[in-house]
């Protein structure tokens, strides 16, 4: 049954009706006492996605349905039932969200601490094609200096791709680690058009034309012509050189 759902997902994203598909699923989850899982193609290859009554609880690559269900039972103490034909609308929405499109998908992060949830919320807002350093995520989450703690949250991210932890990089602009291997992170970022070579060693870009500096992948920085670009290793360097932080990507506290 789940194979059929996966097969019909090639045209993912058409005719998505937000809300209604999850409502009917919620009823069924509550009735059956089991969460539902989907097998969906994603930029990481086929993944299993588990959905409970409050939203998506887990995204993972696993060898088999049995393995995914067993691990889920151990971690969440809940049974999983395969999604069926009537879950096709939600499956389409999940496939679009996994592919990095701006589709609203509810996440169930109840098991996380307030700090972890703030980190997840910040990371969820990093646009496709852009990256941000761990230190920035920590500051935006209200805990400046907590880069390492952010790294720990990312390493245990229960919903990769839906919360795009692959878009969080080391403070020097190099890609750093990823739950599914650093090589996979580099591949995902290249597919999203992130200029990794340029980023490495010069994660900040400024232009004298406006006096503003940005994260190098900020959409404003990408528009600066090569002859007008200045590269910086840190926000402190850019500030010392007299540049102001961009209001959109907020590379330093304003």
Q: Which residues bind to Zn ion, rule: CB under 5 A?
A: 214, 218, 220, 246, 248-249
Question: To the nearest whole angstrom, how small is the minimum distance from the Cβ of residue 246 to Zn ion?
Answer: 3
CB 54 within 8 A of CB 108: yes
Question: To the nearest whole angstrom, how small is the minimum distance from the Cβ of residue 210 to Zn ion?
Answer: 10
Question: To the nearest whole angstrom, how small is the minimum distance from the Cβ of residue 160 to Zn ion?
Answer: 25
Choice between 57 and 205, CB closer to Zn ion: 205
Choice between 56 and 214, CB closer to Zn ion: 214
Q: Which of 165, 214, 246, 249 is catalytic?
A: 165
Backbone angles phi, psi at 248, to 5 degrees: -85, -50
Choice between 35 and 140, CB closer to Zn ion: 140
Choice between 236 and 248, CB closer to Zn ion: 248
Any catalytic annotation for residue 165? yes
Short-list 9, 63, 89, 72, CA closest to 37: 72
Q: Residue written as tokens 């990095």?
A: 100
**What is the C-alpha to C-alpha distance for residues 93 and 87, in angstroms, rounded to an integer?**
10
Cα torsion 72, 78, 82, 88: sign: negative
Q: Rounded to a whole number, what is the largest CA-CA distance in the chain?
A: 63
Choice between 103 and 249, CB closer to Zn ion: 249
Which residues share a beta bridge with 230? 206
Short-list 36, 5, 13, CA closest to 108: 36
- In terms of Cβ atoms closer than 10 Å to its own Cβ (0-12, 13-18, 19+), residue 89 is middle
Question: To the nearest whole angstrom, how small is the minimum distance from the Cβ of residue 215 to Zn ion?
Answer: 6
Dihedral over alpha carbons 58, 61, 65, 68 (to 10 degrees): -50
The residues annotated as belonging to the active site are 165
């Amino acid at each position: 049954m789940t194979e059929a759902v996966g097969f019909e997902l090639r045209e993912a994203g058409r005719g998505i009706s937000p809300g209604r598909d999850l409502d009917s699923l919620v009823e069924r989850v509550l009735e059956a006492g089991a969460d539902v899982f989907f097998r969906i193609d994603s930029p990481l290859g086929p993944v299993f996605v588990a959905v409970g009554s409050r939203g998506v609880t887990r995204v993972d690559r696993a060898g088999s349905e049995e393995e995914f269900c067993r691990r889920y039972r151990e971690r969440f103490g809940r049974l999983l039932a395969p999604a069926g034909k009537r879950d096709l609308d939600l499956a389409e929405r999940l496939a679009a969200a996994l592919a990095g499109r701006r589709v609203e998908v509810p996440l169930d992060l109840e098991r996380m601490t307030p700090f972890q949830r703030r980190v997840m919320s910040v990371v969820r807002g990093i646009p496709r094609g852009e990256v941000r350093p761990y230190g920035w995520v920590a500051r935006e989450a209200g805990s400046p200096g907590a880069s390492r703690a952010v790294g720990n949250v990312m390493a245990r991210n229960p919903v990769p791709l839906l919360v795009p932890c692959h878009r969080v990089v080391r403070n020097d602009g190099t890609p750093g680690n990823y739950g599914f291997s650093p090589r996979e992170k580099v591949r995902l970022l290249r597919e999203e058009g992130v200029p990794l070579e340029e980023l490495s060693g010069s994660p900040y870009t400024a232009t004298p034309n406006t006096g503003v500096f940005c994260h190098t992948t900020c959409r404003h920085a990408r528009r600066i012509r090569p002859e007008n670009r200045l590269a910086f290793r840190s926000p402190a360097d850019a500030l010392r050189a007299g540049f102001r932080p961009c209001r959109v990507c907020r590379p330093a506290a304003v």
